[in-house]
Amino acid sequence: MNKTLLALLLVIACSLSLSGCIRPYQPDIQQGNIINNSDLREIRYGMSKAEVLFILGTPMVIDPFNEQRWDYFYSKRNQRKSQTSQRLITAQFDGDKLVKLEGDVDLSNVQNLEPSTEDKQHGGTVITQPTQKEKGLLNRLGIFKKKNR
């Protein structure tokens, strides 16, 4: 066999075997209403539909046969870990007033819910230390460093 043909076959074989090792980036998939524990803490029995709508947003499902039941569903698929987390909250109304709240989380003691991961990711201000290095060798050595007054 020709040396160039052998080298070409070796390069093709190596590139094909290495192409299976490369995994493209896949973003996490979020579907439905983000249900934060901080939002659930604001829910009170006796609230009107408009107030619940303002706090939790538009429900994922409003049953056409039972308009007194709203279902809020949230699903997050972590592509890196191949895990899916889900939350389902069902609000039941009597006329225009909230009478029952059911779901995956313990809603009997809504006021004491711990902050959820969605609360930590989407709410609040995170204060961090600056990561940018000072410019210039003499500034980093402290020779010409400006003093805070």
Average pLDDT rounded to a whole number, residues 57-63: 83
Domain count within the chain: 1
- Residue at 29 is within a domain: yes
pLDDT score for 145 = 60
Residues 42/46/51/55 CA torsion (nearest 10 deg): 30
Could you give the maximum distance between any two Cα atoms of the chain, in Å?
A: 85
Contacts of 14 by beta carbon, 8 Å cutoff, 6+ apart? none
Domain range enclosing 74 = 24-120
Alpha helices in 20-145 (DSSP H): 37-41, 49-56, 117-122, 137-141
Residue 37 domain-assigned (yes or no):
yes
Structural domain contains residue 56: yes
- Among 39, 56, 33, 51, smallest CA distance to 98 is for 51
CATH code (residue 54)? 3.30.1450
Phi and psi at 74, nearest 5°, equal -135, 135
pLDDT higher than 90, residue 97: yes
For residue 139, being part of any structural domain is answered with: no
Of the listed ranges 39-53, 119-133, 134-148, the least confidently predicted one is: 119-133
Tell me if 42 is assigned to some domain: yes
Residue 72 counted as domain residue:
yes
**Half-sphere exposure in the Cβ direction for 99 (13 Å, CA):** 8
Which of the two residues, 49 and 140, has the higher pLDDT score?
Answer: 49
In-domain check, residue 32: yes
CA angle 79, 38, 78 (to 5 degrees): 5
Supply the pLDDT for residue 44.
84
Structure confidence by residue, pLDDT tens digits, 31-47: 888 887 778 888 888 99
Q: What is the value of pTM for the model shown?
A: 0.58
In a domain, 106, yes or no: yes
Matching residue, tokens 């043909």:
5
In whole angstroms, what is the distance from residue 126 CA to residue 120 CA?
9
Instruction: Return mean pLDDT, the chain.
Output: 77
